[in-house]
Amino acid sequence: MHSPLESTSCGLPETPPRPSFLQKKPSLSQLTLGGSSKSIKISELQAQPTTEITFASAGTAPAQGDSASVYQGMAGLDLRSVRGDPMTGGSDSWTVRTNPTLTIFSDEEEGATSMKFTDRLGEMLREPTTRLWDVPPEEEKEMRRTKQFFVLSSAGKPIYSMTDTNGDDEGQEENNQFVTDGGVIQTLVSSFALDGSELTSFVAGTTRFTVLDRSPLILVAVSKLKENESDLLNQLDLIHSFLMSTFSRPNIVRSFQNKEGFDLGKHLGRACVSGLDLLCRLMARFDPGILLGALQTIKLRKSTRAKVNSIMIKHRVKEVLYGLLLGPGGKLITILRPRSHTLHTTDLQILFLTVANQSRGNTGEEELWLPICLPKFNPNGFLHVFVKHVGETSLLLVSADKNSFFTVRESAQKMCADLERHRYFDKFNMSALSGLSTADIPAPLVYHFIYKSKRHLQYVMPTQTEPSQLHAHYLSLHSAVNRSGRIGVTYCKWESERPGVPALAGVGWVTPNYEVYLITSGTARKEVFVGSARAVVNWCKKYEERLFVCEGATF
């Protein structure tokens, strides 16, 4: 017998896909506005004045919590195994056990000698990974079998889907199916709207469907990864923000007002489609920053970061609103900003993704001048971003004046010259190369962890291991933490499906000031879990000014 949310006859396929006309096109994104027949190029749009903007502050410090009392609460915690499904709940507010169990081991040849558990896990985590834009076809298909994203208009016209674009029979069949399913999804959303309610999520079998209605757009996520509704809604909001960054909200709204059947899909340029593909792959493969709503930083000495900040302030010109310095892998080194304002994390994630996508395939030290709308900052207009790459380091300078290219460029050149003179680019590369390891922290049996500072909305994790190998475990743990909805500790345990292989366990610890998620051995005692979590927190607090960008370069 199914619950009201578990519909098995909703008419939606488990792996919906994408129409043939959504092939990547080399055309520029254009919109027809008002009653005019003249097309307006995105690059010709001016940024709106910033004097009346309400800035979204991401640096407000929450109330300080009593760590000692939390430690005592952990020490007295009864970490019992309670059966429950991470998707549907049904567990104690403090303890969670997933069912069915998850497995992270590949099959061995029959008769092969078993390796030690720690050796096997370490070997698995050290496996090389593939760049997101060079995903092998089989891995791409597997991602689409477990997770899908769709965008359609309120009239049911398909705009984008995370499907195959190679033109094979399977991809074409999925594309044709998406055209049909667009109308089904639109009908479901409209039927709920007529009753004065909103359709946000439902479950069919083992698949969760989540819908975000941002008229005139409808965004849909289909996931078999046991993710909860709030996480999927956040991911759909990020896709919506990316579309706003390309077109801006007023342009999209006016286009659909002029013509209800407006086909936005035909205006998705090559860069926009590839950017959407990259974003969806990040969310399908596992990106801790998207899951936690935080930015990953590079570890640097406090004095080094302070000198870098002084260089950026010294050479800033009045046309520069914000500046960002990114190290290898897109990790944040520092931010140049007004003293009382900062950019929203979503805007920064969209900005970093856009720069990574536009810089793909660049060789040498190319410079870019990109128009972009930052929807959390101002959804009504465009800013322009100057991008300069020096090796694996990127300098981004944001301006509201599209005609300030040469002035901003000169400012960037002076910053880079000064950084090069003091050999800071070499320090950035060395820091990224040395990275962070669990061996740096006296936390026994911790295989991997993610620590997020809520004050700075930034996170750190070991760089010597690959977190995507623990994708399902972190998703399950994070969903369990969200489902409890309480400040405190959540415990998960995953039994292995293979005889003789030890279990894995996860601990999620949430306070007003930080979040920490760690994966460890399922055979460890309760005291070891408590001690390991405490050691990670204490270590991150001790080296906070090395791990995080605390203030940045303020003016």
What CATH class is the domain 438-547?
Answer: alpha beta
Residue 550: its pLDDT value, please? 94
Question: Phi/psi at 46 (nearest 5 deg)?
Answer: -85, 150
Three-state DSSP class for 402?
coil
Asked whether the beta carbons of 510 and 487 are under 8 A apart, the reply is yes
Of the two residues 168 and 69, the one the predictor is more confident about is: 168
128 burial type by CB count under 10 A (0-12 exposed, 13-18 middle, 19+ buried) = exposed
Q: In the chain, list all ranges with CATH 3.30.450.70.
A: 137-285
Which of 60-64, 182-186, 489-493 shows the lowest mean pLDDT across its residues?
60-64
Of the two residues 212 and 132, the one the predictor is more confident about is: 212
Asked whether the beta carbons of 504 and 92 are under 8 A apart, the reply is no
* Fold designation for 137-285: Beta-Lactamase (3.30.450)
Name the DSSP letter for residue 185: H
Residue 453 has pLDDT above 50, yes or no: yes
Residue 200: its pLDDT value, please? 85
Residue 303: its pLDDT value, please? 96
Give counts: helices (H), strands (E), the chain.
15, 19
Q: Compute the average pLDDT of residues 360-375.
A: 85
Q: Which amino acid is at 74?
A: M
Cα–Cα distance measured from residue 99 to residue 291, given in angstroms and rounded to the nearest whole number:
22
Q: How far is CA 443 from the centre of its chain?
A: 27
Residue 389: pLDDT band (50, 70, 90) is: very high
Tell me the pLDDT of the chain averaged across its residues: 76
Q: What percent of the chain has pLDDT over 90?
A: 45
Residue 499: pLDDT band (50, 70, 90) is: confident
Cα–Cα distance measured from residue 437 to residue 125, given in angstroms and rounded to the nearest whole number:
12
Q: Which amino acid is at 281?
A: R
Q: In the chain, list all ranges with CATH 3.30.450.30.
A: 295-435
User: DSSP readout, 371-422?
Assistant: EE--TTT-TTS-EEEEEEEETTEEEEEEES-TT-HHHHHHHHHHHHHHHHHT
Q: Compute the average pLDDT of residues 86-92.
A: 34
Residue 411 has pLDDT above 90, yes or no: yes
Residue 95 has pLDDT above 50, yes or no: no
pLDDT tens-digit map of 278-290 = 999 999 888 999 9
Verify cis geometry, omega within 30 degrees of 0, for the bond prior to 100.
yes
Of the two residues 30 and 428, the one the predictor is more confident about is: 428
Indicate the CATH number for domain 295-435: 3.30.450.30
Residue 76 has pLDDT above 80, yes or no: no
Asked whether the beta carbons of 455 and 61 are under 8 A apart, the reply is yes
Residue 531: pLDDT band (50, 70, 90) is: confident
Residue 181: pLDDT band (50, 70, 90) is: low
pLDDT tens-digit map of 208-265 = 999 999 999 999 999 998 888 999 999 999 999 999 999 999 999 999 998 878 999 9
Cα–Cα distance measured from residue 36 to residue 467, given in angstroms and rounded to the nearest whole number:
51
